[in-house]
Chains A and B, each alone.
Chain A
């Protein structure tokens, strides 16, 4: 045995090394051979997705881009002069939620080895900002994923030449982030006032501890009283809290009628689950990142009914061309509802295609010039860049442009979400005074219903009376 030990250990090392090497061997790259058409030259443009593929963000972003690219290529690609361009989708896993150096190295690889022409990236603020430096070093057009930091906009304002390749084609501009979650609260306040007969409802804020939520807390504390409500307290669980029953009990003690929450980690699932289980007598709405996923019904243990949430897309609302296809394609493609990552992934290739055709060029500067003049009907509404010099390269948000919706869960199938906002009423004056776009009473969608109060809320407050 003792004699065998050394050769055995040696063999073990060899096996380990060979396994490692085998895993390190690059996979055969699957380049689709471009089918030459008569007299036309076909060239391939590489569209790169840098996303954490072990997480929903990555899967969603890849699927959105896959859907768009397939559609664009099937329809004949882009024609620039005599050349026909088609997209090729290159995906590299960034692993950004677990390791920042991994993400930076993946970005370098995408820029210098894969040589992608256009890149969508950015699902976690810390890594996204590190990656953006690499992307700007390499002069790539980079389109934002779902991270929330406003820093890239400040970077463009500060140094246009270096950072002009940055665009964000999926959401209202950063300055509105605090407000657009807030805009889905007034319809709920109306319902509470009407059905529970309370003149001045009390609102409890459950804001997870995350950077993009930090500025929302004082904002909400200021704004909600202007909606004719009282704020009874702010609770800030960790973004990955797996138990909030202490917070919920305190909220009930405070006599709140409405829980307004913004969260993004699994706090959302925990909150919904324990809210239903403990029958906390409050209506609940807000930006609940978890509740945008189909899996929310499972993660909350089947306790998702009556949860109000913010959404870009719903099956029941025709917000723009392709919205239903994107919804169905997303559910079939990876079995989940389209979230901001899917929408960004879907819009980015389309906006690029449109810009390349207008610019009649694929050069860096020319495409940026064309992208700045984008005016395109996306699944979430008309996309046009803001002319405000403080918010360069961000899309406009408002009744005529991209919009948001307030939805409510009804059963396990997210196809059946009911939409309660925009309900044909104007947002409160206080929001408009704070710079929020107005004119919401001008857009009317069919099939809007009121927010449904959970039955236990009704019985509790009617019993109180």
Chain B
């Protein structure tokens, strides 16, 4: 009982006091109960796709946002996941729970192979290699239509659970687990898992990281493997939901989508990638209800991107966070920005402002 009370206390201090975490929690819990409120297949499908693409965007963020390995061809892993699960299911008749992890496994192998050039190249050069790989894979798909289905893709394999609600819940749970793993792996403050700190060090200065004794090769390979794994999971789930695994999964556009959603939501933060995907994907789908919105939505996309990159280069969500939260300068605890004193140590949160205020008060007193 005391333990529960302690937990609740922790919850109150760590979550309820910070508006941002409250919103995130309400959103995550609300999304679990979405099928209770609406059985509309259209809405459920919309958020199913959101969840799949959220995994995909977060996996890109892990590789590019956190580790700093600029990848413009993440669709390669997505498509490999989709094609592998489809092929195994079609030809060998294996059930989906076996083929989806295998799809992710093939994506991991591809991720490790992509890592080879990444050990030698970085920045723009790595971007070129990753951009080229899915296009080359598209050439292979076109050249082997008997095996890969060519332009029409592979079809005729089983769906995921057979019902929209089932699909939604299953994918939502998978998303939560995937995000939790990725979040833990990238958490720089964690005392148990140190990868977050290391991959961030690799992004900031790889040579410095290496000279401090970090095996950067291993950690880069790990980032590629983990990122490819989750992109592969997303691709495999996507194939089973949409019931076709076609060349659209490896198109350049698919890679860019992950980039766009993540940049909109916030690079270098898993929650930013997820929020960006949920906001942009659902908004863009809803915009199609209006004929003019339908026409101009893809015109708006580059404009939104440019505005976000110019005015909030960290992304929308970190930008909002920055403006509603403030870290206490003394005890490093997150506080609501409107507070004058830290909720834990009562130190003034805005020391500069505080000084001015004090001076004013002194003046008034004298």
Give the residue of A109, A155, A214 whose beta carbon is less than 8 angstroms from that of B42. Answer: A109
List A contacts of B122 (CB < 8 A).
none
* Bound CA–CA A105/B281 (angstroms): 12
**A98 CB–B CB distance under 8 Å:** yes
Give the residue of B242, B304, B316 whose beta carbon is less than 8 angstroms from that of A104. Answer: B242
| A104 in contact with B307 given A20-B300, A26-B289 (CB within 8 Å) | no
Q: Are A23 and B145 in contact (CB under 8 A)?
A: no
* Bound CA–CA A66/B156 (angstroms): 33
**B297 CB–A CB distance under 8 Å:** yes
* Bound CA–CA A358/B125 (angstroms): 66
* Bound CA–CA A17/B346 (angstroms): 37
Q: Are A93 and B288 in contact (CB under 8 A)?
A: yes
* Bound CA–CA A105/B156 (angstroms): 19
* Bound CA–CA A133/B242 (angstroms): 8
List B contacts of A214 (CB < 8 A).
145, 150
Q: Are B307 and A23 in contact (CB under 8 A)?
A: no
Q: Are B286 and A9 in contact (CB under 8 A)?
A: no
Stretch at the interface among A43-51, A124-132, A287-295, A398-406: A124-132
The winner among B149, B156, B289, B296 for most chain A CB atoms within 10 A is: B289
**A34 CB–B CB distance under 8 Å:** no
List B contacts of A12 (CB < 8 A).
307, 311
List A contacts of B348 (CB < 8 A).
none
Q: Closest approach, in angstroms, between the C-beta of A114 and any C-beta of chain B? A: 10
List A contacts of B290 (CB < 8 A).
23-27
* Bound CA–CA A112/B42 (angstroms): 7
Q: Closest approach, in angstroms, between the C-beta of B221 and any C-beta of chain A? A: 31
Q: Are B155 and A129 in contact (CB under 8 A)?
A: yes
* Bound CA–CA A214/B148 (angstroms): 13
Q: Closest approach, in angstroms, between the C-beta of B305 and any C-beta of chain A? A: 11
Q: Closest approach, in angstroms, between the C-beta of A134 and any C-beta of chain B? A: 8
Q: Are B246 and A23 in contact (CB under 8 A)?
A: no
The chain A residue sitting closest to B39, CB to CB, is A112
| A151 in contact with B289 given A9-B311, A99-B248 (CB within 8 Å) | no
The chain B residue sitting closest to A6, CB to CB, is B323
| A24 in contact with B307 given A101-B242, A112-B40, A214-B150 (CB within 8 Å) | no
Q: Closest approach, in angstroms, between the C-beta of A30 and any C-beta of chain B? A: 11
List A contacts of B110 (CB < 8 A).
none
Q: Are A93 and B152 in contact (CB under 8 A)?
A: no
* Bound CA–CA A51/B243 (angstroms): 20
| A126 in contact with B294 given A9-B312, A105-B42, A209-B142 (CB within 8 Å) | no
Give the residue of B150, B283, B295, B319 whose beta carbon is less than 8 angstroms from that of A20. Answer: B283
* Bound CA–CA A113/B285 (angstroms): 14
Q: Are B145 and A100 in contact (CB under 8 A)?
A: no
**B151 CB–A CB distance under 8 Å:** yes
| A27 in contact with B323 given A105-B46, A113-B42 (CB within 8 Å) | no
Q: Are B300 and A210 in contact (CB under 8 A)?
A: no
**A102 CB–B CB distance under 8 Å:** yes
Do most interface residues of chain B lie in helix, strand or loop, or is the interface mixed? helix
Do most interface residues of chain A lie in helix, strand or loop, or is the interface mixed? helix
The chain A residue sitting closest to B45, CB to CB, is A108
B187-226: CB near A (< 8 Å → 1, else 0) gives 0000000000000000000000000000000000000000
Q: Are B152 and A125 in contact (CB under 8 A)?
A: yes
The winner among A22, A102, A126, A210 for most chain B CB atoms within 10 A is: A126
Q: Are A100 and B287 in contact (CB under 8 A)?
A: no
B138-164: CB near A (< 8 Å → 1, else 0) gives 000010010001111101100100000
* Bound CA–CA A104/B46 (angstroms): 10
List B contacts of A149 (CB < 8 A).
152
Q: Are B248 and A210 in contact (CB under 8 A)?
A: no
The chain A residue sitting closest to B52, CB to CB, is A101
A1-37: CB near B (< 8 Å → 1, else 0) gives 0000010011011001001101111110000000000
* Bound CA–CA A334/B314 (angstroms): 46
Q: Are A16 and B304 in contact (CB under 8 A)?
A: yes
List B contacts of A229 (CB < 8 A).
none
The winner among A99, A100, A102 for most chain B CB atoms within 10 A is: A100
| A126 in contact with B293 given A9-B311, A151-B155, A214-B145 (CB within 8 Å) | no
Q: Are A112 and B41 in contact (CB under 8 A)?
A: yes
List A contacts of B151 (CB < 8 A).
125-126, 210-211
**A106 CB–B CB distance under 8 Å:** yes
| A130 in contact with B242 given A108-B42, A113-B42 (CB within 8 Å) | yes
The chain B residue sitting closest to A27, CB to CB, is B290
Q: Are A211 and B150 in contact (CB under 8 A)?
A: yes
* Bound CA–CA A125/B307 (angstroms): 37
The winner among A23, A27, A105 for most chain B CB atoms within 10 A is: A23
**B247 CB–A CB distance under 8 Å:** yes
The chain B residue sitting closest to A125, CB to CB, is B152
**B172 CB–A CB distance under 8 Å:** no
The chain A residue sitting closest to B249, CB to CB, is A100
List B contacts of A26 (CB < 8 A).
289-290
List A contacts of B92 (CB < 8 A).
none
* Bound CA–CA A50/B145 (angstroms): 27
* Bound CA–CA A53/B150 (angstroms): 25
List A contacts of B311 (CB < 8 A).
9, 12
Given contacts A23-B297, A24-B289, A95-B288, 4 further A-B contacts (CB under 8 A): A53-B294, A112-B41, A209-B142, A214-B150
User: Would you give 8 A-B contacts (Cβ < 8 Å), ordered by A?
Assistant: A6-B323, A16-B304, A20-B287, A95-B288, A98-B298, A108-B42, A126-B153, A151-B156
7 A-B pairs with the lowest CB-CB distances in the bound complex, closest first: A23-B293, A125-B152, A126-B246, A211-B151, A24-B286, A26-B289, A130-B244
